[in-house]
Amino acid sequence: MEANVVTRKATILKMVKGARLEIVIRNKKISASDEELVQKVMDRFQKEDDDFATESKRLCHWDSVIRDVVWLEANMEESKMIIDRLKSGDESFANDFFYGDDRTGCNISRIRSKILSFIKQTYKVDVSSDEFGNILYAFLWNGGTWSVLDSYSCKSSFFCWLEEIARHELIRYLKDMNIIKVKSERTAGNTRMLGMSVLPETWECVLADTMPDGFHKKLLSDILVKRKTKEAMEVEYGVDAEDLHRLQKRAEADFKDRLIRSNSVYEDLVLRDKCVRREEVSEDFVKDIYSWQEDNSNANPLADVLGVGLDNEELHEKVKDFLYSFPKMLNWTEEERLVWTLRFIENTAPVEVAERIGRRRSWVDTKYSRLNARFNKAVREWWFRNAV
C-alpha cells in the first residue's frame, strides 16, 4: 500500500511539473512549490471517487484534475496581485495596466487589440487605445470602489474574464453615446405570432415543417389550423380557461424558439417583433436609392415627397422606412420581399440568403436582379407621380 502511494505521488509530481511548464510558457507565475501543488491535488483526490475501469482513464482524470488545480493556483495568484494593486491606489501600476503597450507585461494590451479590432470590423468604428483605457478604467474603478473586480471567480484566467467584461462595457458605452446601433437578436420572448391573421393553410405548412409531432404541435394546430373555439378546447383537453392559456403560451414559446433557431423562411411570414428592432442602414445604401435620378442635382430626390426641411438623419430614417414598406405595394410574394429586403437593404450575402430560404445561390442572384429592375422602374414612376 505504501509503495502504491509513493508511486502515485511520483506520477502526480511528474504531471504537476508538466502543468507548471504550461504556466511558464504563458508568461504567468506561480509561487507554490511542486510539493505544495502535489498536496493540493492529493487533497482533491480524497474528495472524489477514485474508481476507474482502466489505468488510461485514471491518468486522463488525473491530468484534468492536476491542470485545474495548477491553473486555478496561477489564476488566483495573478488576479490577487492585479486586484490588490489596483485597489491600493497604485497610480503607476494602474497607468501601466490600462495604457501600457508591452505585450509581455501586466497590462490590457493583449485584449485591447482584439476588442478594438472586433469593434472596427463589426461596427465600423475606430476607438483609440487611450479612449478604450479611459472607458475600462472608469468602469472598473466605479467611483473608487473597484467593486466590479469582486465578481471575478478565478474559473478562467483574469484576462479572459476581463476581455468579456471590457467588450460588453465598450459596446454599452458606444451604444449609450449613439455612436453605434445594436440590432437585438430575435428570441421567443421579444417576438409575437401573427395568429389568426395568417391563413390556416399557411399555418398547417409552417407547423408541419417546424414542429415535431406531440402535444404542442397538436395544440397549435387546433388553434391556428382547425380554428377550434376556446370553449371546445377546454372540454377536449379537460382544462379551464386559465390552464388552456398557460398551455398555449408554452406551445407558442416552443414554436417560436424552434422557428427562430432554424432560420427558416417562414420566420418573417408568421412572426413580428414586439418592439421594432433598430436596423442599421449604411450611407452607401441610402445613396443607392438616389441613383435613378438622371440629373446631377445635389438635392435629395425623395425629400420632395418624404418631407421638406428634414435634416440628413431624419431623412435617412424616412428613407429606411420607405424602403421597407414600398415592396408591399408591388404585389410581391413574401419570398420575393424577403429576398429583396435581405439583399438590397440589409446587404446580406447571397449565399446566406440562399441558405435561409432553401434556394440555390444562382436562383437568388437571378431573382434579386429581376426584383431590383422591377423596383427601380416602380419607384421612379412613384416619384414622378408624387413629387411636388
Per the DSSP assignment, residues forming a β-bridge with 192 are 272
Distances in Å between the Cα of 368 and the Cα atoms of 127, 144, 264, 282, 363 are 36, 56, 19, 19, 8
Q: 23, 97, 125, 114: which is closest to 66 by C-alpha?
A: 23
Distance, CA of 306 to CA of 67 (rounded, Å) = 64
Distances in Å between the Cα of 51 and the Cα atoms of 16, 39, 58, 69, 177 are 21, 20, 8, 20, 57
Burial 203-223 (b: 16+ CB within 10 A, else e): beebbeebbeeeebbebbbbb
Q: 74, 34, 81: which is closest to 154 by C-alpha?
A: 74
DSSP string, 200-217: HHHHHHHHHHHPPSSHHH
From the number of C-beta atoms within 10 Å of its C-beta (0-12, 13-18, 19+), residue 117 rates as: exposed
Grid coordinates of 210: 417546424
pLDDT higher at 348 or 289: 348
Distance, CA of 174 to CA of 19 (rounded, Å) = 40
Residue 317 has what pLDDT?
A: 62
Highest mean pLDDT among 72-76, 303-307, 372-376: 372-376
* Helix 91-99 × helix 129-141 angle, to 10°: 130
Among positive and negative, which fits the CA dihedral 177, 181, 187, 191?
positive
Distance, CA of 282 to CA of 379 (rounded, Å) = 20
pLDDT in tens, 226-262: 999 989 999 999 999 888 988 999 999 899 988 888 8
Residue 298 has what pLDDT?
A: 42
Distances in Å between the Cα of 317 and the Cα atoms of 180, 207, 257, 378 are 15, 36, 30, 21
Q: How confident is the model at residue 96 (pLDDT cuts 50, 70, 90)?
A: very high
> What is the average pLDDT across 176-189?
74
pLDDT in tens, 253-304: 899 988 888 877 678 788 887 754 444 444 444 444 444 444 434 444 454 4
Answer whether 339's CB lies under 8 Å from 375's CB. no
Highest mean pLDDT among 33-37, 137-141, 360-364: 137-141
Helix (H, G, I), strand (E, B) or coil at 303: helix
Burial 39-50 (b: 16+ CB within 10 A, else e): ebbeeebeeeee
Highest mean pLDDT among 90-94, 120-124, 169-173: 90-94
Indicate whether 1 pLDDT > 50: no
Q: What is the reported pTM? A: 0.42
Highest mean pLDDT among 23-37, 100-114, 255-269, 343-357: 100-114
> What is the average pLDDT across 104-110?
86
Helix (H, G, I), strand (E, B) or coil at 315: helix
First-to-last CA distance in the chain?
A: 99
Largest CA distance in the chain: 99
> What is the average pLDDT across 295-319?
51
Distance, CA of 348 to CA of 123 (rounded, Å) = 15
Q: How high is the mean pLDDT of the chain? A: 77
Q: How many residues does the chain have?
A: 388
Residue 297 has what pLDDT?
A: 41
Distance, CA of 343 to CA of 351 (rounded, Å) = 10
Q: How confident is the model at residue 86 (pLDDT cuts 50, 70, 90)?
A: very high
Answer whether 167's CB lies under 8 Å from 117's CB. no
Distance, CA of 116 to CA of 363 (rounded, Å) = 38
Q: 61, 167, 49, 44: which is closest to 115 by C-alpha?
A: 167
Residue 142 has what pLDDT?
A: 86
Indicate whether 88 pLDDT > 50: yes
